[in-house]
Amino acid sequence: MNGSVEPPMEREAMSQLFRKEAMERRSRALFGEVVLCGPLPLWCVGVLIMGVGSMIGGILFGIDVNGQTIWSWLRG
């Protein structure tokens, strides 16, 4: 049947072959599992950036090697 709609009896027969739950599960499986999650809140992103920045700053300006900080050693 090219481009035509199946007769109602054929559609009914096909839908009765499988349980409704099995068909729903199969149709969802084609697209993978649905996971709903929103983006990270802005304060979480800010805390992460501040944490990484303070760790980098502590390493560069706080560690003292032979009387010299790492930052001054890298510059000179």
For residue 42, pLDDT beyond 90: yes
Non-local (6+) Cβ contacts of 69 within 8 A are 60, 61, 62, 63
Confidence at residue 75, expressed as pLDDT on a 0 to 100 scale: 83
Segment 25-36 shows an average pLDDT of 64
Across 11-67, the runs of DSSP E, i.e. the strands, are: 64-65
| Distance in angstroms (rounded) separating the CA atoms of residues 20 and 26 | 10
pLDDT above 70: percentage of residues in the chain? 57
Query: Which sequence spans correspond to the domains of the chain?
Result: 42-75
Q: What is the pTM of this model?
A: 0.45
Across the chain, the runs of DSSP E, i.e. the strands, are: 64-65, 68-69
Rg (the chain; Cα; Å):
31
